[in-house]
A and B are shown apart, each in its own frame.
Chain A
């Protein structure tokens, strides 16, 4: 009995102590990663709210629940964070939208100034699902190859050009690994740590899905993009050793920091180039001075890169949804964007701030000056989001693509078998989804009809109305190729 009484007293005491430390203001919880920059971002947010005359509130971090599984379970149980970070790349946003856990912020975005016009245009397909806006970027990543210029200089080779094709990459890569590894017992130097399979596929004019996102289309004449990417990957790993095998990567790896040991190895010169976003500069700055440049991925005819974002969403079941929306508005503000610019934490959400002197020529880092403009430029000119179909679980899609790559490297399948297997699995998954979710069927059938028309138009060489296309890749590719019907043409028709 006495123990029980003590426990009750302790509980009351703890509650009282906690009450005293609480400011009494409404609290917004931000589920994000454990990054030292967050403290500054919180302070800037509070100051920005005050400056704008918005309601007083407190922003608290929740760094223990960033894992997607936790976010899902907590959200569907009604206890998600008010604002949650999510990654647009792997299909989380589409998944969250399907679950209905995100608040539709379309109208508020217009009112508070964080609509898609305030960020990179190519991100629009990631910000919106079914025409509704749910998120706004915290930062934006458009990947390129960072180049360690000193390594090329060390071996008496020229640094690569900004834009290059596959053959040029192969030629320069072979030259590099031959010179760099001469006389060594085992290969220690590689041209790059990996190639981006999706961008390589896209550079041949193909994507995982067709124009209406109704089927995976990776085989057959004119759709050999992923097959070519698989073959190149295999050749460059096993034959030419331009990029390391999984075993070679594991041999290097120390698993420290994001990207494992890749960035340290890049600094040391083992990888002459690394495929990563501008946020890598945070670590590069800690390593020391390095003469840096950035170049595009080698392309098979169509230069492109992938753009993605770590974005913030407002939880639909949150208690302070209105206040949480101010946080999204804050992400579009100058105060926040300049934080990102100064921290080099990828690209700022608003491209306007990539034109500032602080972004282009950071005073303390002249060694980076060649890099900044290129990242911002590519994010605007050649970037496309990863394709997500509303008819399939997209995480599955990208895991099948990776399975295909692993199957080829493990010699379990030929590249041809692997692509076929991957396409079949994705299409089976679409069929299964349609069976399990009959609600999707009407829209799917509508898109299938459109697909038939698109195929017919493409066969006869006619231009295609932009509205028919849902796939963000095809939207841009067709536009760049001049295959889209212009508004003028459409009116005539």
Chain B
């Protein structure tokens, strides 16, 4: 006779066994197997049940080849580029969650809620009339859907919005990609139907603007970028002096902050700018190094505040790159308007264009991410913020923004940390379905990500060993970034 404890254990294991067996068979064993494969020359054309050639271990050969392969770096670049949308996606899902956390069915603001959809519909109709109703059937559909959504929201409250916002997450990915492919259709898609007029207006303005004004505009954008860099450098050195950031954090942050200056060498429109921007940036850095490193008010360990330094650098990168981008865009626009044989500037060709394909996929990813599980997590997080904290802030006379920044945002730190980790993992592993459905990885490999590269290597050539090596390099990248996140990000969660 078995004791109660033993029989309970057996019953527990029995209940868990289907899951454990499934996990072992379909996750653990393949995982270990693929790790072994990564060091082998397994090639489907040589090693399968119809060939008796033995699989050989090739040591690090697959990895060495991978790092020498130009495609790997290109596709890694594509993957990282697409990941640049991640901060915006997280911010978007937070904003969506905040909006959806409010009960929109309230009576007081009812008038506003009727005016808002009415205004949107009216403006949309005006735009449709301008662009021509015939070419914009899908646009009418979308505007109609938006209108209906707003009206439904007024009638039935936040549940409708929550469901609708979550819709992209439970709609089949492929269906969504095909839909977006239609939206991006360069000449007949609703995106360009809307953009057509504003873009041509911009084109006309650029055309009519004297070239020296454009040049001044380009310089202005670059100088604003440099001004931001100056402010960030000052702030970083101040943090270092005050003991908020250690030397290691400072070096890491400086490395990232200086990046835009080096990218300016590639992207700046004129040779003078390519020279001047990095030169000014280096002068600024040298100036701070020479003046601010002399004294330190509050010393700290060298690893202290690496996360803070990293975050400051990352946040500052966005406006700096934005202004360099503006400068390049002004020059590019001027070029296009000069070169084009159209009387007006054409809107982007999105998925058909090498330069626009990645941003197009990013925008779509952003849309999908806003209404994703991240939004649900934030919603759950928001409902867990103790109301007494907000009440206390209200009593102290905090503004809505102050309330959010000092009360809500810190309370959401654990969720944000989890979301950042998962988004980074998802971003590095993602892109396969989109590329396969929308672009086949083109044009000229511009949307091929690492996951698509793994598939291609595995099935187009049969090199499964090599393909596994790529997968494991991807894993190491994901693991390292996650570890960095844990090391430096979890501090803010626990704080």
**Chain A residues within CB distance 8 Å of chain B:** 68-69, 72, 76-78, 95, 98-101, 186, 245-253, 255, 316-317, 393, 395-396, 399, 402-403, 406-407, 409-412, 436-437
Contact = CB atoms under 8 A, between A and B. Distances in A.
B92 interface: no
A102 to B, nearest CB: 9
B49 A317 contact: yes
Interface in B343-368: 349-355
Interface string B420-447: 0000000000000000000000111110
A99 B45 contact: yes
B462 A410 contact: no
A437 B41 CA distance: 10
A68 B459 contact: yes
Interface in B114-132: none
Contact of A99 (B44, B188, B353, B355): B44
A251 B178 contact: no
A247 B50 contact: no
A412 B43 contact: no
Contacts of B209: none
Contacts of B353: 247, 410
Nearest to A395: B460
B152 interface: no
28 contacts: A68-B459, A76-B44, A76-B48, A76-B49, A95-B462, A99-B45, A99-B51, A100-B50, A100-B51, A247-B187, A247-B352, A247-B353, A249-B352, A250-B349, A250-B351, A251-B185, A251-B186, A253-B185, A393-B460, A393-B462, A395-B460, A395-B461, A399-B460, A407-B444, A410-B354, A410-B444, A436-B41, A437-B46
Nearest to B354: A410
A411 B459 CA distance: 29
Q: Which of A186, A245, A248, A251 has the most CB of B within 10 A?
A: A251
Contacts of A247: 186-187, 349-350, 352-353
Interface of B: 41, 43-46, 48-51, 178, 181, 184-189, 349-355, 442-446, 459-463
Nearest to B45: A98
Q: Which of A99, A100, A253, A399 has the most CB of B within 10 A?
A: A99
Nearest to A67: B459
A316 B41 CA distance: 24
Contacts of A101: 48, 50
B352 A246 contact: yes
B49 A250 contact: no
Nearest to B342: A186
B186 to A, nearest CB: 4
Q: Which of A249, A250, A396 has the most CB of B within 10 A?
A: A250
Contacts of B181: 250, 255
Contacts of B50: 76, 99-101, 316-317
A251 B43 CA distance: 41
Q: Which of B187, B189, B351, B444 has the most CB of A within 10 A?
A: B444
Contacts of A78: 49
Nearest to B65: A432
A403 B445 contact: yes
Contact of B443 (A95, A99, A410): A410
Contacts of B185: 250-251, 253
Contacts of B184: 250
A59 B206 CA distance: 67
B146 to A, nearest CB: 24
Nearest to B351: A250
Top 9 closest pairs, chain A to chain B, by CB: A251-B187, A410-B354, A100-B50, A246-B352, A76-B48, A247-B186, A247-B349, A98-B45, A247-B352
Contact of A255 (B49, B178, B445, B459): B178
A246 B459 contact: no
A224 to B, nearest CB: 21
Contacts of B189: 251
A117 to B, nearest CB: 28
A250 B459 contact: no
